[in-house]
Amino acid sequence: MADLDPLFTAAKTAMEKAHAKYSDFPVGAAILTKDGRIFSGANIEVISFPEGWCAETTAISHFVMAGGGEITDICVIAEKKDICTPCGGCRQRLAEFAPAEAKVHLCTMEGIVQTVTMADLLPHGFESDVLAKTN
């Protein structure tokens, strides 16, 4: 297993930059690719709640804009909740880019405390290849 301290630190640092003035619930996420790149994001709220961005969505945006790659690990942290999992929408968004075996690390403020796979989080998610099928 790769040293995940930089991934945890990136998620925690992102969380500290969250714009969560409406929910007061800052969240950070970080994505690690097979080639060692890390992309982080924080939740960004706007007044027309819930039209903001989740931390995972922001991290995915950075990942896509940098050319993507193969996701191996994802780290999620919330200041006010131990073991904060991605919401349902973010589970599907992550599944668009991360393989079923990608590891999702759930954290407290001190570090990673539980690891699951994308398949564990979204066992029956939509698969993009079904849209390419014709009758």
Does residue 127 sit in helix, strand or coil? Answer: coil
DSSP 8-state secondary structure symbol assigned to residue 132: G
Number of neighbours of residue 19 by Cβ within 10 angstroms: 13
At residue 27, the 3 state secondary structure works out as strand
96 among known catalytic residues? no
Query: Is residue 94 within 8 Å of residue 57, measured between CB atoms?
Result: no
Mutual orientation of helices 88-97 and 55-65 as an angle, nearest 10°? 20
Which amino acid does the sequence have at 109?
M
Give the amino acid at 76.
Answer: V
Q: Which of 16, 45, 56, 110 is catalytic?
A: 56
**First-residue to last-residue Cα distance in the chain:** 43
Q: Give the residue numbers annotated as catalytic, written as ranges.
A: 56
